Structure 1
Amino acid sequence: MNTPAPPPAPGKRSLLKTLEIDTRLLGMIGAFVAICLVFDLITDGRFLTPRNIFNLSIQTVSVAIMATGMVFVIVTRHIDLSVGAVLALCSSVMGVMQVQLLPQLFGLGHPLIMPLTIVAGLLTGAAIGALNGFLVGYQRIPAFIVTLGGLLIWRNVGWYLTDGQTLGPLDHNFMLLGGVEGTLGDLLSWAIGVVLSGAAVLAIWRARAAKIAHEFPVKPLWAEGALMATAVAAILGFIAVLNSYEVPIGRVKRMFEARGEAVPEGFVAYYGLPISVLILIAIAVVMTLVARRTRFGRYIFAAGGNPDAAELSGINTRMLTVKIFTLMGVLCALSAMVAQARLANHANDIGTLDELRVIAAAVIGGTALAGGVGTIYGAVLGAIIMQSLQSGMAMVGVDAPFQNIIVGGVLVLAVWIDIQYRKRTGAKE
């Protein structure tokens, strides 16, 4: 008589499942921490200084903004190779608007220059994205071909628009969006940090309440509390680091001299949270809400998971494609706005190789090239990892060509890890 085998004893895997810990996210965070610690050790503690973290944060914004849109593109089983070129064209349009056209119309420093410049850039990005979406969705041209053509077209259109010239200086109000010129200071940054911390705690609590209301299993209360504490510590810790970065005394003197005042004795100013990083946070929150709480977001993941079933269920996948690529174009324009403001001019090489960085950020962040799977927070974290890797290599003197070799290798490695992860977890490849 055969006796039934005893049930397997609960182990580490079952504990992770009970706590609903995302092992992929945990691995990404571990990789990010390892990168920071290694480069900090190699650079004798210069990598994790407030100054470098501040610079790292504003350098990440442009790629991270586009990576949030690339998640939607890849989830629906498409690709966009033209994002860097679209960014360059949007940047050239905004450069011409605020350097050549609008100052002649309104005069230098007019308050309408900044909003009209941004509107022109957004309309340009939306138009190009809509064209890409139309060609892919309605004309059935593969997205790879459409956007590869765009990679060759749009940057050179921008070159002709500016006659190949670097445009500057930019409008002073516009440059506040770049990060270096525009920061919130220490007090307002602390206020934003407290608000973001409260929002994170509320979101975690509401997600738990929603699961309970629908009779879904939930994590232990202590685990939820630990997650809330970790989120609050990460947000406030980031704000504390930025608030410890002092504004150079020379710049402080110029600020006071512009107001006709003398610097008070012992006065110290801190940069705080850059406006560009605040823009990224706002975009990431909105894109996450779109992905999780709207019909549009549900349609995106449904179409990516099974396009035929989505079409048979009544989803207009052609129009959905147009909307996704239009959104991608708008995000490219926003990235161009931030990148141009950070550089304080429009240069023809702006956004070069951003296609690689954006796609790599999305894939490293867990977006499956097979479609149907991806997260906004993963893409943002992927962008942070990519920028940390590049900044660290630059600090230790690695040549730019070798940096690109490393980035390419990391992208291939990320895809291989994704394939192995899905094989082990039984997820769709």
Structure 2
Amino acid sequence: MAQADISRSAAQAPSAMGAFRALQIDPRLLGMIGALLIIWIGFDVLTGGLFLTPRNLFNLSVQTASVAVMATGMVFIIVMRHIDLSVGAMLGVIGMLMGWMQAQVLPDLLGFGSWAIAPITVLFGATVGALIGAGQGYVVGYLGVPAFIVTLGGLLIWRGAAWWVTSGQTVAPLDANFVVLGGGLRGTLGAEWSWMLAALACAATVALIAASRRRKIARAFPVKPLWAELTVGAILLGLIVSFTAIMNAYDVPQRAAERLYQSRGLTLPEGMILSHGIAVPVIIVLIVAVAMTVIARRTRFGRYVFAAGGNPDAADLAGVDTRKLTVKVFALMGFLTAIAAVIASARLQSAANDLGTLDELRVIAAAVIGGTALSGGIGTIYGAILGALVMQSLQSGMAMVGVDAPLQSIVVGVVLVVAVLADIVYRRRVGD
């Protein structure tokens, strides 16, 4: 009987392993998710159940947004075998310029409280960011100065420039419509719109999975078994629904809800409870993630970036203009940094010259923890966003536990080194 049980277990083991392989889930992705769950559960125990609450998870999603947006651009930078140390300082100067525009320039031109102040400010910031990034990319690509030196100089230049915009004075308050983009009380969707967005996301997920499967079959490419496709789809739908339910479980305080209704000239119905729902910064991250994934996988530009990073000499021989490509990648990084500056300054409802301090390290760490290889050619957008979430979870959890700031930096540094080491070991084993 024992021998029969052993034989049966041995026969079942390969089928279970084969079933897992049929799902075609990246092992590194599972590792990051596992690490994130360990971090969350550990801090939840240490804080007496305060970490895994709708309120804290809502705040965590908003706090992660600006770094996550920049991390998607840093993936392209590192894939191209470059680095950008200036993104934190660039965020600071762009945030100060946008604050100066909406507080001192645009109200005189358009009138105080004009609806056009916010969109013009965002457009202005995005243009400045793209120009700064393109300028740094030109020096790297066409003049041949190493990106490390160019962006290290940029770190010093733009941090100093952020002070000169308003002589070090903090700009506040910012335009009311602009502040919505930071995810405050007015910067959320509420329960109904959040569920509508979740339904749209679920429908899009199903449609994309089905379209991808049909496309592979039409081109005679190998496809997952149908059960594996359905399992992956069910997991994704479950994550979307669960996230939305958690965000909707965070109720708006009653007094804040009353003030919100009063600002609209309405009275809050007795007994009515408002939910925050999904925050606007999270929606921005979602849009950026989808756009950057499409760029990486479906456009010539994205294919050239990964080809040039994987083998620059071969890319040159194939006719890829790597110098021009470098300018475009840094311009994209500057544009995304401007979007992050919008989120960061709007969340704080002010612009200070120290905005974005040390964000360059958090962004690089997020991209590397997310699986982007420093040797170039390898990286994913979803990995970078997950890496940003891991970084912010560590910082938020340690702050809640009461860990001193210097020790927080030590822990983050150790995690970064361990993550790179684990990635190197993994790639060696896969290569073998």
What is the TM-score normalised by the length of structure 2?
0.95
In structure 2, which of residues 41, 49, 63 is the aligned counterpart of residue 37 of structure 1? 41
Is residue 2:62 matched to residue 1:62?
no
Shift of 1:57: 0.3
Counterpart of 2:368? Answer: 363
| Cα distance in 2, alignment partners of residues 246 and 393 from structure 1 | 25
Shift of 1:16: 4.1
Shift of 1:200: 1.4
Query: Deviations for 1:217-243, whole angstroms, at most 9, x for unmatched residues?
Result: 222211111110100010111000111
Is residue 2:283 matched to residue 1:278?
yes
Query: Deviations for 1:171-199, whole angstroms, at most 9, x for unmatched residues?
Result: 00000000113111100100000111111
In structure 2, which of residues 348, 352, 356 is the aligned counterpart of residue 347 of structure 1? 352
| Cα distance in 2, alignment partners of residues 248 and 115 from structure 1 | 30
Is residue 2:155 matched to residue 1:172?
no
In structure 2, which of residues 71, 77, 93 is the aligned counterpart of residue 89 of structure 1? 93
Classify 1:391/1:324 alpha carbon distance in 2 versus 1 (closer, same or farther; 3 Å): same
Tell me how large the CA RMSD over aligned residues is: 1.3
What's the secondary structure of 2:82's corresponding residue?
A: coil
Counterpart of 1:325? Answer: 330
Counterpart of 1:426? Answer: 431
What pairs with 1:7-46 in structure 2 (closer than 5 Å)? 10=14, 15-46=19-50
Shift of 1:257: 2.2
In terms of mean alpha carbon deviation, does 289-298 or 253-262 score higher?
Answer: 253-262
| Cα distance in 1, alignment partners of residues 253 and 170 from structure 2 | 28
| Cα distance in 2, alignment partners of residues 383 and 15 from structure 1 | 30
| Cα distance in 1, alignment partners of residues 299 and 265 from structure 2 | 51
In structure 1, which of residues 262, 265, 288 is the aligned counterpart of residue 293 of structure 2? 288
For these two proteins, the number of residue pairs brought into alignment is 419
Shift of 1:10: 4.7
What's the secondary structure of 1:368's corresponding residue?
A: coil
In terms of mean alpha carbon deviation, does 114-123 or 188-197 score higher?
Answer: 114-123
Amino acid at match of 2:291: V
Is residue 2:342 matched to residue 1:337?
yes
Is residue 2:131 matched to residue 1:161?
no
Is residue 2:223 matched to residue 1:218?
yes
Counterpart of 1:262? Answer: 267
Shift of 1:202: 1.8
| Cα distance in 2, alignment partners of residues 209 and 304 from structure 1 | 31
| Cα distance in 1, alignment partners of residues 368 and 215 from structure 2 | 30
In structure 1, which of residues 207, 217, 238 is the aligned counterpart of residue 243 of structure 2? 238
Amino acid at match of 2:61: S
What's the secondary structure of 1:382's corresponding residue?
A: helix
Is residue 2:149 matched to residue 1:145?
yes
Classify 1:258/1:210 alpha carbon distance in 2 versus 1 (closer, same or farther; 3 Å): same
Percent identity, please. 59
In structure 2, which of residues 195, 198, 202 is the aligned counterpart of residue 193 of structure 1? 198
The answer for unaligned runs of 5 or more in structure 1 is: 1-8
Counterpart of 1:228? Answer: 233
Shift of 1:15: 5.0
| Cα distance in 2, alignment partners of residues 63 and 30 from structure 1 | 21
